Amino acid sequence: MSFWDKFRFWEKKQVPAGAFSVPSRLQISSGADDFALAISAVWACVRAISDPIAFLPLQVFRRLEDGSRQRAADHPLYALLAEAPNPDQTALDFRHFMQTQLLLQGNAYAEVVRSPRGRIVSLHPIPADRVRVIREAGEVRYSVGGETWPASRIFHIRGLGDGLEGQSVISLARRSFALAGAMERYGQRFFESGGRLPYVLKHPAGFRTAEDLDQFRRQWDEAYQTSDQWHRPLILTGGLDYVQIGIRPEDAQFLTSRKFQIAEIARWFRVPLHLLGELDRATFSNIEHQSLEFVQHCLLYWARNWEMAISRQLLTPAERKSLYAEFNFSLLLRGDYEGRTKGYSALLDRGVLSVNEVRRMENLDAVPDGDVRHVLGNMQRFPAASADTTRS
């Protein structure tokens, strides 16, 4: 049986309906992930971070002696990170799952499969709830499915934690997540009941026997509590009195509280509110700046975390002297077409870029003689220009 089959990667544990309590850190399972991701704000935050980490180019580069660099396409790790880390997944699938685990569980794990010569041939993700980090005789090891594995067999990316293991956001934010889930459940029940608040029925004399009470409850439920009968008018006889006991949504500031809870969850993941569909205070200019801050203060951290983990765990000490992995963020920082053309013009006029380099950035084919760089012909050194002015 393969490693993949052994752990049944796509098997899901079900969360009981209405269960909003989150288990402690040591008991977290894939069911806790399902609970958190069922909250729309959590889903949006996880997608906002994991999607770019999954689709941005992640490539291995080689430093050259003249200070430049080139793609190390001949290195086995290049294809694993850029195309397919294992026979079952694309690089996008692999990174998407790993980053989601990293965001929710605080850790992301993958088995490193090597050839007899030590060459890395594949990376297989492992659900974070099935791995434990242990330290034995001063060395870090991993307990996986009851087996103890050496650190060289595990690719481990850590979130914020104690340096040995990342902390689970599900555990830390369980109260925020539970409150958001409770609000969604309350809203669902409120509208399913036709907007009717909880109530009690007061009988002036009471029921003579328990059988009379049970019979009344059955008749009442059949008449007014089924989903297709809630709109019927209530007809009270025998001195019955209908008394509401719940708090109206407007009195509980339901919508305001839901918006606050969205902002609360966004703070846990450091995601701007406009990426969660919350646009009350959004303008064109501040969304642009918030998007740039999101890249700088959130995505760059996670990208650098990946890059350093790859360098430390998947490259040998000798390879680290000349090889490194890097995300390409140009897709997120390109800006609008007008801004790009102005930037290209300035760099072309100063000889920083050639025509073909600009065309490659725009996914265009190269043109003949397009690799020659040009500068403006009427420019000269400052001292010479000052001397000409003095003579005139």
Mean pLDDT, residues 321-330: 91
Number of domains in the chain: 3
Assign 111 a pLDDT band (cuts: 50, 70, 90).
Answer: very high
Amino acid identity at 170: I
User: What pLDDT is attached to residue 254?
Assistant: 43
344 and 308 co-located in one domain: no
Q: Where are the beta strands (DSSP E) in the chain?
A: 58-63, 69-71, 107-114, 120-126, 131-136, 139-144, 147-150, 154-158, 199-202, 241-244, 323-327
168 and 183 co-located in one domain: yes
pTM of the model: 0.67
What distance in Å separates the CA atoms of residue 199 and residue 118, rounded to the nearest whole number? 70
In the listed set 290, 311, 333, which residue is the last one of a domain according to the structure? 333
As given in the structure block, the two tokens for residue 153 are 């067999």
Amino acid identity at 334: R
Helix (H) or strand (E) holding 191: helix 174-192
Assign 225 a pLDDT band (cuts: 50, 70, 90).
Answer: low
The domain in which residue 236 lies consists of: 199-245
32 and 97 co-located in one domain: yes
- Beta-carbon contacts of 351 under 8 Å, excluding residues fewer than 6 positions away, are 373, 374, 375
Which residues, listed in sequence order, are joined to residue 63 by a DSSP beta bridge? 69
Which residues, listed in sequence order, are joined to residue 325 by a DSSP beta bridge? 60
User: What pLDDT is attached to residue 125?
Assistant: 94
Q: Is the pLDDT of residue 107 over 90?
A: yes
What is the rounded end-to-end Cα distance, in angstroms, of the chain?
89
For the sheet with 120-126, list strands across it: 120-126, 107-114, 154-158
310 and 252 co-located in one domain: yes
Distance of CA 286 to the CA centre of its chain: 22
Which residues, listed in sequence order, are joined to residue 327 by a DSSP beta bridge? 58
Higher-confidence residue of 195 and 370: namely 370
189 and 203 co-located in one domain: no
User: What pLDDT is attached to residue 79?
Assistant: 94
222 and 290 co-located in one domain: no
As given in the structure block, the two tokens for residue 76 are 């086995």
For residue 300, the SS3 value is helix
Is the separation of the CB atoms in 109 and 142 below 8 Å? yes
- Beta-carbon contacts of 281 under 8 Å, excluding residues fewer than 6 positions away, are 273
264 and 241 co-located in one domain: no
